[in-house]
């Protein structure tokens, strides 16, 4: 076959590197056009679907039927205002990310839901209000609820694409190459023509667990087009620290927990860059401040994120309350910056049983068996008098929880947990009593109290996500609970530079022939369509959107 002045023999039309959601979408879009596709992944078949499997399955839609039923008035203009205010694009290299952002917004307000609905996806009827911002109208955050939880969570998102891929394999259109670790992109006559690397020994570890890197052979495959869909860097803390934006967020924490499996290591981004491709915005990243050490870990240093309602008292490692917009569920990176400015590697929630039973959700498909299993009977237990079973398990077994009947006993337990004796019970009592007085005040100057009341104006939050305002020191709402929160690594917002067709760009800004990049490896599109901040529900959506574009264009 002769392409671009060079002649070589191809085994496949398209090679996709990475079997996560973006890779699955790209592969199945290419096979839908009749192309022969090879999907390569360094993990085993049990990991097909990648990180998306472990997600809550949240998707960002604009003006959806679910929103309208909840009396949420949304529009493309409002979503654009929120996105631009959050992204803060300010670099020359943001040209393509800006275009990707606009294209994604059009997709989220247009055919995205219908495309997924016809594949069988459905969504929980109560739309979540994630990443609320807490600042000005033109600043960061979602002005309205847009977080649509997929019925079936992460497994429900990947299921249609896994089925399509397996059906394509049965037809001979798709070839899976698991336990194949790509080490190089192969080029000929200035064009990427394939991949080469190491065959790894089979390893029957469970999905997400750390697998062997024992080499048993080598490989090289050729294709007309190669699509890099290898994910980000969140499982590689050395790489996270190397790219950490110190000028914006201060020094990285000495200790973090991992919100993604160990194989999310950034290797392929480096390999792609070594081939002459451009990587932009590597300092843009998305890490959460509400991480727990998993009492039942799957991957090394496994962390779980709390999805909090707005009512918990939040303080730093010294017991000093965090200011707005550092309120639970409002401004992820704004809170991270405040904690890093204060030198706090961790922080604390102080709350009551009345708050935890209604406001604590845990991110992850495995932490939400009712939604993941599509079990309505189990789901209705969330409206009961006790915390959901996964939350209760963390209260009983998690190393980060302290439960006591009085504030002084609670603070003593918090000091014992860390061994640092940094917390002064009288100072914490002073701050909580001040907060409690504002709860009794129907006017209030406290931003968090105002935010709690504002949240309850939304029916979805009032029913399921926000406890009735009450004093934290009210014995009737107890016992008191303290939760130590770690920084949890999660998403890479920068990545491989691509044009609007997902074609990779070189350091000179020109297209690298034969090479595409999608998903987190490409900053979810263009090398960072989120800019500096994400609006939530946009990570899976970015994988879906960029994978679809690359698969279709590579097959053209």
Pairing of strands 279-280, 480-492: unpaired
- pLDDT of res. 60: 98
- pLDDT of res. 9: 66
Provide CB contacts within 8 A for 95, sequence distance 6+.
none
pTM over 0.85: yes
Three-state SS sequence of 391-417: HHHHHHHCCCEEEECCHHHHHHHHHHH
Output the DSSP codes for 99-167.
HHHHHHHHHHHTTHHHHHHTTT--B-SS-B------S-TTSSS-SS--EEEBTTHHHHHHHHHHHHHHH
CA distances from 327 to 59, 313, 429, 451, 462 (A): 23, 8, 19, 9, 18
Tens-place pLDDT, residues 278-335: 999 999 999 999 999 999 999 999 999 999 999 999 999 999 999 999 999 999 999 9
- pLDDT of res. 382: 87
Are 517 and 504 a contacting pair, CB within 8 Å? Answer: yes
Q: Tokens standing for 127? A: 């739309």
Q: How far is it, in rounded angstroms, from Cα 488 to Cα 400?
A: 14
Measured over the CA atoms of residue 393, residue 399, residue 401 and residue 404, the dihedral's sign is positive
> Cβ atoms within 10 A of the Cβ of 385, count?
8
Closest residue by Cα to residue 303 from 292, 314, 315: 292
- pLDDT of res. 3: 53
Mark the ranges of the chain whose per-residue pLDDT is less than 70. 1-9
Are 261 and 235 a contacting pair, CB within 8 Å? Answer: yes
CA distances from 318 to 281, 344, 350, 423 (A): 33, 8, 13, 6
- pLDDT of res. 384: 84
Output the DSSP codes for 266-327.
-HHHHHHHHTTB-EE-TT-EEEEEEEEE-SS-SSTTBEEEEEE-S-SEEEETTSPBPPTT-S
Q: How far is it, in rounded angstroms, from Cα 424 to Cα 368?
A: 36
Tens-place pLDDT, residues 459-503: 999 999 999 999 999 999 989 999 999 999 999 999 999 999 999
Q: How far is it, in rounded angstroms, from Cα 533 to Cα 284?
A: 8
Q: Tokens standing for 387? A: 């915390």
452, containing H or E segment: helix 447-455
């Amino acid at each position: 076959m002769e392409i671009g002045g060079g002649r070589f023999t191809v085994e496949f039309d398209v090679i996709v590197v990475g079997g996560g959601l973006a890779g699955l979408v790209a592969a199945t879009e290419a096979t839908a056009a009749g192309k022969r596709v090879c999907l390569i992944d360094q993990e085993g078949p049990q990991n097909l679907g990648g990180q998306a499997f472990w997600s809550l399955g949240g998707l960002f839609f604009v003006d959806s039927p679910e929103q309208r039923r909840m009396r949420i008035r949304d529009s493309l203009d409002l979503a654009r205002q929120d996105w631009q205010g959050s992204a803060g694009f300010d670099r020359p290299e943001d040209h393509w990310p800006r275009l990707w952002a606009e294209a994604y917004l059009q997709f989220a307000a247009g055919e995205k839901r219908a495309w997924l609905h016809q594949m069988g996806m459905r969504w929980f009827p109560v739309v979540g209000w994630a990443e609320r911002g807490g600042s000005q109208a033109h600043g960061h955050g979602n002005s309205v609820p847009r977080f649509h939880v997929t019925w079936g969570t992460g497994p429900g998102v990947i299921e249609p694409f896994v089925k399509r891929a397996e059906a394509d394999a049965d037809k001979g259109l798709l070839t899976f190459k698991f336990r194949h670790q790509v080490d190089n992109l192969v080029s000929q006559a200035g064009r990427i023509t394939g991949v080469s690397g190491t065959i790894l020994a089979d390893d029957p570890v469970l999905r997400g667990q750390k697998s062997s890197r024992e080499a048993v052979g080598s490989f090289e495959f050729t294709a007309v087009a190669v699509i890099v869909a290898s994910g980000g860097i969140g499982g590689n803390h050395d790489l996270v620290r190397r790219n950490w934006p110190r000028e914006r967020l201060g020094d990285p924490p000495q200790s973090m927990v991992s919100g993604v499996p160990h194989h999310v290591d950034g290797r392929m981004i480096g390999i792609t860059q070594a081939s002459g491709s451009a990587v932009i915005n590597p300092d843009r990243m998305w890490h959460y401040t509400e991480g727990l050490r998993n009492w039942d870990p799957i991957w090394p240093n496994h962390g779980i994120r709390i999805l909090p309602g707005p009512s918990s008292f939040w303080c730093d490692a010294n017991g000093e309350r965090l200011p707005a917009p550092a309120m639970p569920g409002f401004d992820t990176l704004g809170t991270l910056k405040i904690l890093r400015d204060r030198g706090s590697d961790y922080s604390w929630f102080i709350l009551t049983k009345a708050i935890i039973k209604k406001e604590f959700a845990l991110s992850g498909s495995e932490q939400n068996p009712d939604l993941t299993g599509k079990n309505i009977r189990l789901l209705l237990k969330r409206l009961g008098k006790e915390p959901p079973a996964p939350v209760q398990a963390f209260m009983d077994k998690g190393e980060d929880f302290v439960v006591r009947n009085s504030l002084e006993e609670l603070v003593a337990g918090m000091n014992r947990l860390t061994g640092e004796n940094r917390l002064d019970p009288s100072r914490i009592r002073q701050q909580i009593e001040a907060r409690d007085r504002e709860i009794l005040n129907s006017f209030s100057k406290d931003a968090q109290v105002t935010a709690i009341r504002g949240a309850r104006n939304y029916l979805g939050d009032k029913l399921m996500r926000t406890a009735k305002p009450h004093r934290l020191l009210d014995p009737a709402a107890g016992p008191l609970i303290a939760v130590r929160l770690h920084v949890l690594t999660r998403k890479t917002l920068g990545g491989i530079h691509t044009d609007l067709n997902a074609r990779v760009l070189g350091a000179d800004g020109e297209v690298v022939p034969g090479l595409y990049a999608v998903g987190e490896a490409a900053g979810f599109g263009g090398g960072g369509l989120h800019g500096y901040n994400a609006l939530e529900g946009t990570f899976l959506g970015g994988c879906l959107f960029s994978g679809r574009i690359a698969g279709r264009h590579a097959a053209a």
